[in-house]
Amino acid sequence: MRRFSFIHASDLHLGAPLHGFSIKRSGLAKELKDLPARAFADLVDEALRRRVAFVLLSGDIFDSQKPSPATFLAFFRQLKRLLSEDIGVFMVCGNHDPLGSWPDAIELPEGAYLFRADGWSSVDISMAGSHICSIYGHSFMKQAETRNLVSLLNFHRNESPDPDGPFRIALLHTNVGERPGHAVYAPCQLQDLLDQPIDYWALGHVHSPIVLHQSPHVVYPGILQPRNFSETGPRGCYLVEVQGRAVHNLEFLPLARGIFMQDELEISGMESLSSLEETLFQRLEHLGSEAEGGSLLLARIRLLGHTHLAGQLADATVEQGLIDDLNSALEGAGSKVILASLENRTVPEIDIESRARVDDLLGFALRERERLLSGEEGFRELDRILVPLFQNQRFKSLLNPPDRAELQDLLDKAAGLAAWKLEQDEPGE
């Protein structure tokens, strides 16, 4: 019985910046920028070590429609490593890197195949003179592909796959079932996929690894290297082992060079920044000791509780100083942990309700906070105030409007900062 294996990856997002960092450590920005390329190089290492028959890339290879020449060249170097060992590479384009954005001068090396965008096409794979596999694919020509591309795959609806025929794979960048958190490009339903005589749907676009169906397999490998704190936990690709017309084994390979994680720390009653720094260092060291493998752990810590430090932590310079000092200490200790950011959710150790009744500037600020948080009308007022900022041509591509929880967090931070600034110089403080 015929046996072979392949690697299925998607959403490499080569050239993508990583977001959510408040770090000024020397050399770290470049190290973070290189993580997607290093993760792809590790994928190539795995493909070579395991002697797979081919590698599938299901779209969004590049993060931008205009990747830098250096990003293209680095990608091609990895392709050539695979091709030099007779490992083929089969790719489709997605919404970040539609085929129409690829320069005409780009010529793929022999053995790498990029599927067209004007319809489904296929490539047959043979081993030892035997036709073992047929790979079908359809690229995006433009970013906003709104058609159901699965419906254009021209198999007869009632065709029964030959049990002795070649294994069939289809590559597509798509949102199956309009999964939340992802743009609805090339939309389809799971049943659309199951109605086709395909043994393995190699999908891309959704950034979490998900197996939607088995026999036939419908698989999202997820993003290879996460880019921000909405993509926490292990990320990588799938190693697929085939026996005859069936998937014999499906193994997830965690290859991300940087893992995003979030944690919470209760600091009620804490009196000094030095105590907080020591507590944070111990927590980060503990998180690093529990992390598996050699990946960087990119941490965001949410600070909770009632503390006199609330106002100081609302000061951006104090927060940044903590982050810089902790990362220097972690680097000196040889830790693989990086504190990417702190999220201050602490509140001052004052009776806000009683303090708001005082007729002074702080009392007024606390009353305004309470008024704005008391109902929908307050949130609508905040929305009206913020509309010009988020409609500004310069900023709207960089900022997302805050949701209700984020607005409350902003108001709590403002209240904490106001309490610290307005009361820190009072007698006895």
**Is residue 428 domain-resident?**
no
| pLDDT given at position 233 | 87
**pLDDT value of position 22:** 64
Q: What is the dihedral of CA 33, 35, 36, 37, to 10 degrees?
A: 90
Q: 304 CB contacts (<8 Å, ≥6 apart)? A: 264, 265, 266, 267, 268, 345, 346
Clarify whether residues 301 and 362 are in a common domain.
yes
> DSSP letter string over 321-355?
HHHHHHHHHHHHTT-SEEEEEEEE--B-SS-HHHH
Residues 17 and 90 in one domain: yes
Determine which of 82-91, 206-215, 267-276, 308-317 has the lowest per-residue pLDDT on average: 308-317
In a domain, 409, yes or no: yes
* Between residues 81 and 362, the one the model is more confident about: 81
For 321-346, how does the pLDDT look when each residue is reduced to its tens digit (9 = 90+)? 999 999 999 989 988 899 998 988 88
Based on the fold, state whether residues 233 and 287 are members of the same structural domain. no
- The helix-helix angle for 35-50 and 69-83 (nearest 10°) equals 10
Strand order across the beta sheet in which 200-204 lies: 121-127, 130-137, 167-173, 200-204, 217-220, 210-213
Percent of the chain with pLDDT over 70: 92
What is the chain's mean pLDDT, rounded?
88
**Predicted local confidence at residue 158, as pLDDT:** 47
Domain membership flag for residue 263: yes
Q: What is the mean pLDDT of residues 381-388?
A: 85
Q: How are beta strands 3-9 and 236-243 bridged, if at all?
A: antiparallel
Whole-model pTM: value is 0.81
Return the minimum-mean-pLDDT range out of 52-66, 280-294, 295-309.
280-294
Question: What is the number of structural domains in the chain?
Answer: 2
Residue 113 φ then ψ, to 5°: -130, 125
Q: State how far the Cα of 67 lies from the Cα of 213, in Å rounded to an integer.
A: 34
Assess whether pLDDT exceeds 90 at residue 409.
no
**d(C-alpha 28, C-alpha 144), whole Å:** 34
Residue 167 clears pLDDT 90, i.e. is over it = yes
pLDDT (average), residues 408-424: 74
Q: What residues make up the domain containing 202?
A: 3-254
Query: Quick check: 96 pLDDT over 90?
Result: yes
Q: Lowest mean pLDDT: which of 19-23, 170-174, 208-212?
A: 19-23
Q: Which residues of 6-42 are buried (b: 16+ CB within 10 A; e: fewer)?
A: bbbbbbbbbbbebeebbbeeeeeeeebeebbbbbbbb
User: Do 204 and 278 fall within a single domain?
Assistant: no
Residues 225 and 297 grouped into a single domain: no
What per-residue confidence (pLDDT) applies to 195? 92
Residues 342, 215 share a domain: no
pLDDT of residue 415: 77
For 103: left if phi > 0, alpha if psi spans -120 to 50, otherwise beta; the answer is: beta
CB atoms within 10 A of CB 422: 15
Taking alpha carbons only, the member of 418, 28, 85, 42 closest to residue 235 is: 42
Per the CB < 8 A criterion, the answer to whether 261 and 242 are in contact is no
User: What stretches of 73-115 adopt beta strand conformation (E)?
Assistant: 88-92, 112-114
Task: Dump pLDDT digits (tens) for 116-158.
Answer: 999 999 999 998 888 999 999 999 999 889 999 999 998 754 4
Let me know if residue 33 belongs to a domain. yes
pLDDT of res. 349: 77
pLDDT at 428: 41
- pLDDT for residue 398: 62
The CA dihedral of 295, 35, 325, 331, to the nearest 10 degrees, is 50
